[in-house]
Structure 1
């Protein structure tokens, strides 16, 4: 035969891959969709983690006070070894600006400065005293001022009155008359106006320095670095001298024109040139944190500081609190990362098992074809290569599409983890079918062999492999329990893999134990009058759907869903408790610090607001001195209403008669105290000095919490037993649907300077960190993905035995089985596996939650910051991981219901097709 005819015959043979794909197109499409979704999840998860960690880093830096994050480079005043003109030139704007530009250019990567909010100038390191008698003096102490000649004031302030200060002539160290500006807040507090002249003491009784106010300015961005790196520049404050009692004085700042800096050299206030560099977090990513921390340390005391000193002087120093912000961020990230990784590893494991199940399903469906190829001399290499080609044609484009979708869906993240995740899914998807085929057909198999689990005797190799996995899993879990999560590295990986390890142990144990109840139940079922019960048990034992892979997939999926649901429930509970501890009720009405007494009629106005149920008035006195030393928060309450409130909220419930006034005119008041206060006071009556007068108390009960002051040492007494001047200072209101607007309107109408804090608003304040919200979204997605993969695993396991079940029903109908009995048969056959998976999933989920609870830090995930005083410590107690009943039971019941629904649907579909059609299919079993 000629070579041309051979080539024609070769071309006439259809390619293997095209033929196989045309034979089962819908199976190929389903496999491609599964690979696409799995690759998308594998690529999107690390990108999502990267994205929210980067957003968290940027928000932490941008949201921290500039006084903590700014990099301040300072130098001492020019040395006295220089001439006076040289010293003056060193602090003039041109010289400082030149240094500023050089310092900005010398910052090492990844440190970047926001030039718009960065500032430089000269300030008095020591404050100067305002000597004018008309300046306010709270305790007869004159105010102290910081004089700052900071550049670029016009770009950062709006003139409200007057004009910006200027230097009308050349200013020298001998100049004693300057122009200045004050912010609106400074002018209001210090009684300054345009034209006011503030005098400061001179050297050794010399001519004082006088600053005439030419303008009142308002900062344009008061919270930004230009103004808030040194908050006194924009807002004055009351300071206290270290005397007893403390004496207060005003601390403020005046803004001088940059050209006036040489005049500060003539004062004793140690003028100091400075360059404040506001960090720009816009280009930072989570990968930059280690390098950024190292660079900041080098800038503070290392080689990078030496580079800056070449521009700013040999004695320049850099200080910043940015490293503390980075340390706080790193601490929260390290606390949250292992918890989030549990979701990632759990979903990754169940996805891998489902992909492996898909390969097993295809191998089982094509078992006759592959057995025929092996019996006719097909090699394992040849068969595996062809199957690899089939899988690759589908998996490669599907995985690539999944990765591209993940990149498009999640921006600002590293591409490498997404590519690696997609590549891992691709390799697994391409390998499952060839590996399954090679393992199952490594030797030619006889057609029609049984896969009877109840009578199966696993080989020695399988037993050794299972024992090895069991020992490794148990060892890892035991190591985790002993070491916890305090260590780094491997400890975190153990925490993350614990649900998978526990699920693996449970699957191996349950698969080994599963035949026993089937054997026990099948024996009495033989004696029953009907055949449905015995047939269902026999079929459940024979079905290949009861293998280890479907059970492992269901257990891991249910465990991940239960763990994720419990984490979300624990976070919600912790926030609810923290918000309750912050307010003490659904609403709290008081003046700042609980210092002012409530005006008459406020309690009636609050009771009339929409949604308010019950209102409890209390008197709170903080820092009340004890006769035994120390201080306590004294709370005067009405026993009946307050005891009812404490019982309803679950915060230190106590019987009302614990505070009931003693009989017989005994002047001693019964009290409920916190443990620390009770230990200090003891059981004997003790006298206490309050703002309303002296009282004598005796401890009647001890409670760790109370609604009025949940986070402090407290002492509860009956307010009626206090002197007559003891008016209430705080209202605690409860209600199912409080109207915040109506409640605030009622409070404003009854009195001024009183604020309303709602429990619902305090709760919403906890979720302000991208680390927290991002981790919660990851867990929500993990729960949804786990449920989806659980459904898919169950469907695949039932689909694998679907044709065999249909043929069985067709044969049994020819023997007189009714349609109703057929439905019962399929339902009872699917029930053992569903019950095993559901029960095992609940037990494994419960065990995993209790296993990980000591090492899981939910407080950092739930609470970014405590919004109220004293709320943090108490919230930590309620931030532990607990098993959530809904997360455990709902997915498990869903598996049982779904299995029954699939069985019923399969029976209905088989009944519609008819027995003759199925018996013609050529089923050989």
Structure 2
């Protein structure tokens, strides 16, 4: 065996320039192809997660449920929706936020400019908002009250338009022919992030004021007991389920798409048990757009990889042809001295291993470096997004 190995090495030294050219062609081609493949997969995952967290598409990736539910059935509907929503994203971590609102109320005419008091009154409504989505800017948050006077906080933008602040006492007329509501304004608030997907649940989008046919101000942030205790008229209940996509990979998008569609149907049934329900999400469409974009990017890389593989193949064929010409006489001499075809094939296979083993080592190294670089790139992007979100 030692003699066989020495003979192979001596043959390699005799044609070292051609073999060096072959080794370099194999190494460079293997390194580039491995890097392209690994980088494409890792960057594809990072691009997928970045796109789903982008503020321009984040709102569409949520599941929004709206239902008109009688007050007596709200607790059961809330429990059912939250349970179904947590399984609607193919096992990804899910956060469910809710917004319970009252029916419409008319604001006092005295808050309108004198020239507008003959028209339609300004409207508002009570809502129990997610505490994490609001920031108090003046006064204090409302608390439950035992008297007939309710407490509420008003959006800062609405307070500026109405020229009222903490301490104001308002008498609101129920537009659904219910009883009047006396409300003490205890504070002013603003959205923690005006572009947060949560504010899709609010008819005013977190802006505090909206004018269409009527001018609507609000919502009046109230304690949840006000909305569930029958102190105000019943309105729509809404939920929003959002998933954490930090562990999502491109290989799971198909399963996620199917799970979201099945989950939307299940949520419609769960929320509609006590009334009518509407479920909406754009996540399947968003995933389709991302898949198409990734397909285009991967096709571009595939074309470059095929071109490189063809060039490497041509180079190896040229080297093999030159090496065959150089060794034609040597091969005839070995056959004349009794060398069998199997022996000559073993020599060729051993020389091929001398070329392949370095290529395998470079392949493993290139894959590791490419994956690490892609992971670091995706991580830096996530950190920048989190910092931007905290700043907002």
Q: How many residues align?
A: 373
Which of 61, 66, 72 aligns to 2:64? It is 72
In the TM superposition, residue 99 of structure 1 has moved relative to its aligned partner by 4.8
In the TM superposition, residue 161 of structure 1 has moved relative to its aligned partner by 0.7
Q: 1:159 to 1:16 in 2, by over 3 A?
A: same
In the TM superposition, residue 177 of structure 1 has moved relative to its aligned partner by 3.5
The separation in 2 between residues aligned to 1:364 and 1:176, in whole angstroms, is 104
Which of 354, 362, 365 aligns to 2:326? It is 365
The answer to whether structure 1 residue 107 and structure 2 residue 88 are counterparts is yes
Aligned to 1:276: 240
In the TM superposition, residue 266 of structure 1 has moved relative to its aligned partner by 4.2
| CA deviation vs aligned residue, 1:862-910 (integer Å, no higher than 9, x gap) | xxxxxxxxxxxxxxxxxxxxxxxxxxxxxxxxxxxxxxxxxxxxxxxxx
In the TM superposition, residue 40 of structure 1 has moved relative to its aligned partner by 2.0
The separation in 1 between residues aligned to 2:188 and 2:137, in whole angstroms, is 6
Q: Is the 8 A contact 1:186 1:253 kept in 2?
A: no
The separation in 2 between residues aligned to 1:312 and 1:404, in whole angstroms, is 57
Which of 107, 115, 123 aligns to 2:101? It is 123
Task: Extract unaligned runs of 5+ from structure 1.
Answer: 1-9, 80-86, 170-174, 242-247, 415-769, 771-925
- Listed as ranges, the matches of 1:173-184 within 5 Å are 177-184=149-156
| CA deviation vs aligned residue, 1:776-829 (integer Å, no higher than 9, x gap) | xxxxxxxxxxxxxxxxxxxxxxxxxxxxxxxxxxxxxxxxxxxxxxxxxxxxxx
Aligned to 2:182: 210
The separation in 2 between residues aligned to 1:280 and 1:319, in whole angstroms, is 18
Q: 1:26 to 1:261 in 2, by over 3 A?
A: farther
Which of 281, 296, 308 aligns to 2:260? It is 296
Q: Is the 8 A contact 2:80 2:270 kept in 1?
A: no
| CA deviation vs aligned residue, 1:354-406 (integer Å, no higher than 9, x gap) | 23333333333333323433444544443233212211133124223323322
SS class of match (1:193): coil
Which of 24, 34, 37 aligns to 2:25? It is 34
Aligned to 2:158: 186
Q: 1:409 to 1:329 in 2, by over 3 A?
A: closer
The separation in 1 between residues aligned to 2:127 and 2:87, in whole angstroms, is 25
In the TM superposition, residue 56 of structure 1 has moved relative to its aligned partner by 2.9
The separation in 1 between residues aligned to 2:175 and 2:201, in whole angstroms, is 30
Aligned to 2:390: none
The separation in 1 between residues aligned to 2:36 and 2:358, in whole angstroms, is 20
Q: 1:206 to 1:14 in 2, by over 3 A?
A: closer
Q: 1:286 to 1:38 in 2, by over 3 A?
A: same
Aligned-residue CA RMSD in angstroms? 3.7
Q: Is the 8 A contact 1:132 1:198 kept in 2?
A: no
Aligned to 2:145: 168
Aligned to 1:221: 193
The separation in 2 between residues aligned to 1:42 and 1:312, in whole angstroms, is 56
Which of 114, 120, 127 aligns to 1:148? It is 127
Q: Is the 8 A contact 1:75 1:316 kept in 2?
A: yes
Q: 1:96 to 1:14 in 2, by over 3 A?
A: closer
The answer to whether structure 1 residue 325 and structure 2 residue 286 are counterparts is yes
Task: Extract unaligned runs of 5+ from structure 2.
Answer: 376-380, 382-392
Which of 168, 176, 183 aligns to 1:196? It is 168
The answer to whether structure 1 residue 261 and structure 2 residue 227 are counterparts is yes
Q: 1:161 to 1:398 in 2, by over 3 A?
A: same
The separation in 1 between residues aligned to 2:171 and 2:289, in whole angstroms, is 44
In the TM superposition, residue 119 of structure 1 has moved relative to its aligned partner by 1.2
Q: 1:205 to 1:387 in 2, by over 3 A?
A: closer
- Listed as ranges, the matches of 1:215-614 within 5 Å are 215-227=187-199, 229-230=201-202, 232=204, 234-241=206-213, 249-250=215-216, 252-263=218-229, 266-267=232-233, 270-301=234-265, 304-305=266-267, 309=270, 317-411=278-372
SS class of match (1:218): strand
SS class of match (1:46): helix
The answer to whether structure 1 residue 157 and structure 2 residue 159 are counterparts is no
The separation in 2 between residues aligned to 1:299 and 1:404, in whole angstroms, is 42
- Listed as ranges, the matches of 1:720-759 within 5 Å are none
In the TM superposition, residue 310 of structure 1 has moved relative to its aligned partner by 9.2
In the TM superposition, residue 162 of structure 1 has moved relative to its aligned partner by 0.6
SS class of match (2:238): strand
Q: 1:103 to 1:137 in 2, by over 3 A?
A: farther
TM-score norm. by structure 1 comes to 0.36
The separation in 2 between residues aligned to 1:163 and 1:380, in whole angstroms, is 93
The separation in 2 between residues aligned to 1:20 and 1:199, in whole angstroms, is 102
Q: Is the 8 A contact 1:186 1:252 kept in 2?
A: yes
The separation in 1 between residues aligned to 2:355 and 2:156, in whole angstroms, is 69
